[in-house]
Structure 1
Amino acid sequence: MTTPAADASDAGRASSSGPGHDETPAESAASRPPLRPGASIPEIELDVAKTREEFARTLDAIEDKLSVPAHARRLTAGVKRRLRDGDAKPVAAAAAGVVGVVAVVAGIVKSVRR
């Protein structure tokens, strides 16, 4: 069982996207030096641009995690890759699943016709 702090840490890490983005948004913000009171306009604009980029990456990661079509594409790509590599286990599992579904549907149809 994980602690709430560990769950929050994992949730933050899950929001980063792509390889090489190991920092959570909070860690990223903490690693940036705070703007000093006398910061110049270009420094402030640069900080705003970096924050926008970080926010866009976070939103993209959230959107990807919640996207059913994206999950379906990844699942399809994984199955295709395993089939191409010659792994017969997914084919056997898919065939067994189809047989099971057909059996359930046939049973339902038979019971409804009675």
Structure 2
Amino acid sequence: MCRVLKVSESGYYQSLFHVCEPRPWQLLLVKIKQVYTRHPNNDNYGVNRIRLVLKQNGISVSKSTVRRAMKKGGLIKTSPRHSGSLTESDADAQKADNLIVRNFTADAPNRK
């Protein structure tokens, strides 16, 4: 059967035994959602604040682990990014007048 499905025997048996076990990030996501339910007015908690609350509750996890769990759970908040400048530049308005007109001679110091 494994040859027909092109699956290794070890992979098949591993999938049989580990189907019901939740992943570590799923367990962490449950605890993160508990933090959100305890603080319903602060649903804008970011990765750093969630990590701080988890640490206060005795759960020591890294910042990247919290970020990964929140991203897979759809809890990451992103702010809108502006592309480019807010105003368009006008090349004619920025040009300085050509007062010297390539005449570099002067009668006295500080006269041009």
TM over 0.5: no
- Which structure's CA Rg is the greater one? 2
TM-score when scaled to structure 2? 0.23
TM-score when scaled to structure 1? 0.23
